[in-house]
Amino acid sequence: MNEQKKEYLASMDLKTLRQERKNSVDRARETIKNQNRIIKAIKETLTEGGKTIPDLADALAMSTETVLMYVSTLKKYGIIGEGAKDGDYFTYQLIK
């Protein structure tokens, strides 16, 4: 096989691969956008002051399980911190 034919076949393989993976790449992009929206909403809500997980869940109209997952992740990476206890729950606030 000559070089031009090899290059043509390689480019066709890439086009086929891109088409096959387009749906999964698009889904991944949408998931990341959604996660970023949620993180932004949590951070904006916490600019008003410290809030507990149930308070955040109510403010964001999300389940407490989902909010807890995001808050735990943001805490792990030092974006938010644990504050004083409010009843049975810790308050969380932005670290500046």
Q: Give pLDDT tens digits along the chain (96 positions).
A: 577 767 766 676 777 877 878 899 999 999 999 999 999 999 999 999 999 999 999 999 999 999 999 999 999 999 999 999 989 999 999 997
d(CA 9, CA 14): 9
> Mind listing the domains of the chain with CATH numbers?
3-94 (1.10.10.10)
- Residue that has been written with the tokens 């904006």 in this structure: 44
DSSP 8-class letter at 79: S
Residue showing tokens 């997952």: 69
* Alpha-carbon span 19 to 71, nearest angstrom: 36
